[in-house]
């Protein structure tokens, strides 16, 4: 059986109601035997809010730290979806992965 990857952007995961709707969708797909990997964005507006906070504390852009900050938006949604899936009897685990490539090994 094929492994299916589904991506849900900020608007589709932008509220608790929408998190629950995505959980219902994933649970239905899972019940049919489909293997799923679900990729989530942060909730709608969250990345902009976090970038605004960064701008308030520093005018210097340290890309690594900005990446770490905005990744917290995705961490929230993946944990919420995992909890919602568990509540529906679907075993779920959230994972946060960042891959960073650089032209210089010291970056």
Nearest-angstrom CA–CA distance, 85 and 26: 8
What is the pLDDT averaged over residues 27-37?
93
Q: Give pLDDT, residue 87.
A: 98
Q: Which residue has the higher pLDDT, 2 or 15?
A: 15
Please give the model's pTM, rounded to 2 decimal places: 0.85
Of 74, 81, 75, nearest to 10 (Cα)? Answer: 74
Mean pLDDT of 76-93: 96
d(CA 100, CA 17): 33
Distance CA 14, CA 31 (A): 25
Q: Tokens 């308030």: give the residue.
A: 56
pLDDT at 71 over 60: yes
60 vs 47, residue with greater confidence = 47
């Amino acid at each position: 059986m094929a492994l299916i990857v589904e991506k849900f952007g900020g608007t589709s995961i932008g509220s608790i109601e929408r998190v629950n709707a995505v959980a219902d969708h994933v649970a239905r797909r899972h019940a049919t035997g489909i293997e799923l990997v679900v990729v989530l964005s942060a909730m709608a507006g969250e990345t902009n809010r976090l970038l605004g906070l960064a701008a308030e504390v520093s005018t210097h852009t340290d890309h690594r730290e900005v990446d770490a900050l905005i990744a917290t938006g995705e961490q929230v949604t993946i944990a919420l979806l995992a909890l919602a899936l568990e509540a529906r009897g679907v075993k779920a685990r959230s994972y946060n992965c960042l891959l960073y490539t650089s032209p210089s090994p010291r970056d």
